[in-house]
Each structure stands twice: as C-alpha cells, then as structure tokens.
Amino acid sequence: MKVLISGAAGRLAHMVADLLKAEGDEVVGLDVRPLPFGRTFPGTFHQVKRYDQRGVAEVFRRHRPEGFIHLGIRAATARARRRYTQNVLGTRKLLDYCRRYEVKRVVAMSTFHVYGAHQHNPVNIREDAPLRATMTFPELQDIVDLDHTVSTFLWRNRDDVNTVLLRPVNIVGPRLQNQMSRLLRSRRCPRLLGFNPLMQFLHEDDAGKAIVMAMKGEAFGVYNVAGEGAVPFLEAIRLAGGRPLAVPHILAYPIGGFLARRGRMPPAHLIDYFRYAVLIDDKAFRDDFGFEPRYNTVETLHWAGTRSR
C-alpha cells in the first residue's frame, strides 16, 4: 500500500512512516516545512509552499497513493491566521485531491480541544458531543472548522473513500516538540493556582500505533483516542519530574500570550484546558480497532519528562 503523509517533517509523521515502512508499505512525505537538518524521511519527500497550492496535485498525480494520513496541522499555539490557512483551507484542498485521485483511505487528525474546556463538560465525552471550543475562545475556530470539514467529507464520500477522523488527547513523548511535551520537559512547568483538572495523555508511540491502526483498519468515522487513565495536571508534572510553578488564573490570561510565543506557557485560548477537565471516552476506538495503549499513564509521563538527544 502506498501512503501519503502530510506534515512529514514532523516527528509524529516520521514515527508513523517508520511503522508503515516496517509493515512493508511505501510512504511518501509532504510538508510545507523542510526536513530538519540531519533527518532523512523513509521514502520520497516533497516540500510544497502551501497545502492549497497546485503543486500538491502533482504529488498526488505522480504517486497515486492509496492511503492518505493528514498530520500537517498547525498547532493551536501558532498564529490564528496561519492556522486557518493551513488547517482549514489546506485540509479542504488535500481532501479534494484525495477524492479526485481515488485515495481509498484517509486518516485525519483533529484534537480533543474541539470539545472545548468548559465547566459544563460532563466526563467521558463521546464523539457525538457538541464541539464547544469556540464558545469561549473563537481563536480555536480553525480546529473546529477542520473537524467539520473532515467529517462532512467523511459522510459525503463514504462510498468511495473511507475516512477516519481521530480526536486524540495530549500526545506527549521525549521526541515530540508539541506544547504539552515541551511543558512537561521544562524545569518549571506553569500551572494554574487553585485548579488541578484531570488530564489524559497518550504516549507518542501509542499515538503512532493508533494512526497506523486507523489506516489499516476497516471501520471509518470519528473517534476519540486516549491513553490508559487520567491524572490531575499537578500529579502529571510531578510524574514527569518537573516542578510546578503556580500562576493565578487572573494573571495567566493576560501574560499567557506574551510567554506563549516563547513556548513557556500555553496561549490564552488554551489556558482553560489547564483549568477545566476535558475527559474523553475512547471506548469506540478501542472496540472498533482493537487499540490498547502500550504505556500506562505513569510510564507515559515518565517518558514525557525525559529529554532525548
């Protein structure tokens, strides 16, 4: 099977590519970023300017992939405009090409952020819950829009393309450069004074495994993906070996934007995820794909706290 992976310059994509390669699949990489210095992609790698650019069609035409894994999502920490261009417009175009060039199976990544950090959230949020992320923070519009884009595509083209939309919890690991992993690796990890919500974590290897399983599986639809259990954030920081730094929430919102640029703190529109629990129910994914995380929460956080290279 030939699989095209967007966001291929990232670590997670790399892990997924390695896993697929090990199973005897051919992988093609696509990214707007160049490959980091010293890293080789286990397959052909194409750098494009934007995902909604015409050059992307050429990649589809030349390789005629049967599977497409969309990992080229700009993180919620990036600037809003860039996120919108890439996550919404880029995704639309890529899905368009998938339909046009007869891709059989698509796996796209959304995030648990779409459910929104809201004090009204029940626990064990299922996939059919309302996506409340934009209720309090319109800055998160791009991920909700991405989610809707993919799920509309999923149902409209379900006869031709099998699409799996994954909504994973915080993916953490020593090799990842995402916000949560960086926070857990940092020596002083900011937390909100007086708030200590339960959080779920997924080890990077498990995330890679889940994506490959979604690619190889039969079922399609929207799925939550979570790790073994939930721990309070303060406990998570301790398990990762960091020291918590308590920030009053009244202060956190205004200074968040400033420190977020340097990766020291989540931006203001993500602070509520450190204030209210957003716990998702991953039963459907476990049942339909037979997914079972290899690392439990304690191991996951231990690994997240270690620095690699």
Nearer to other proteins, 91 or 297 (CB): 297
Among the listed residues 35, 78, 80, 193, the single contact to other proteins using CB under 8 A: 193
Distance CA 139, CA 141 (A): 5
- Supply 73's token pair: 């999502």
For position 89 contacting other proteins by CB under 8 A, the verdict is: no
CA dihedral 193, 298, 18, 86 (to 10 degrees): -20
Phi, psi dihedral angles at 27 (to 5 degrees)? -120, 145
Reduced to 3 states (helix: H, G, I; strand: E, B; else coil), residue 290 is: coil
Tell whether residue 181 is a contact of other proteins (CB under 8 A): no
Which one of 3, 140, 143, 230 is in contact with other proteins (CB under 8 A)?
Answer: 230
Q: What is the DSSP-derived secondary structure letter of residue 67?
A: E
Residue with tokens 């992609």: 41
231 makes contact with other proteins (CB under 8 A): yes
Question: Are 273 and 266 spatial neighbours (Cβ–Cβ below 8 Å)?
Answer: yes
Q: Decide whether 147 or 228 has the Cβ nearer to other proteins.
A: 228
192 binds other proteins (CB under 8 A): yes
By CB under 8 A, which span of 6-14, 67-75, 223-231, 262-270 interacts with other proteins?
A: 223-231
Q: Which amino acid is at 235?
A: E
Token pair recorded at residue 86: 């890439």
- Of 86, 149, 170, 196, which lies in the binding site for other proteins, with binding defined by CB under 8 A? 196
Q: Which of 21, 175, 249, 302 binds other proteins (CB under 8 A)?
A: 249
Is 235 an interacting residue with respect to other proteins (CB under 8 A)?
A: yes
CB of 278 to other proteins, least distance (A): 12
Is 170 one of the binding residues for other proteins (CB under 8 A)? no
298 in contact with other proteins (CB under 8 A):
yes
Residue type, position 257, single letter: G
Q: Which of 144, 109, 141 is nearest to 130 (CA)?
A: 144
Estimate the crossing angle of helix 141-156 against helix 91-100, to 10 degrees. Answer: 10
Q: Does 128 bind other proteins (CB under 8 A)?
A: no
Q: Which of 191, 75, 87, 66 is nearest to 147 (CA)?
A: 87
* Binding residues with other proteins: total (CB under 8 A): 28
Does position 254 interact with other proteins (CB under 8 A)? The reply is no
Q: Are 196 and 273 in contact (CB under 8 A)?
A: no
Is 152 a binding residue for other proteins by CB under 8 A? The answer is: no
Nearer to other proteins, 197 or 217 (CB): 197
Residue numbers at the binding site for other proteins (CB under 8 A): 119-124, 192-198, 228-232, 235, 248-249, 275-277, 279, 296-298
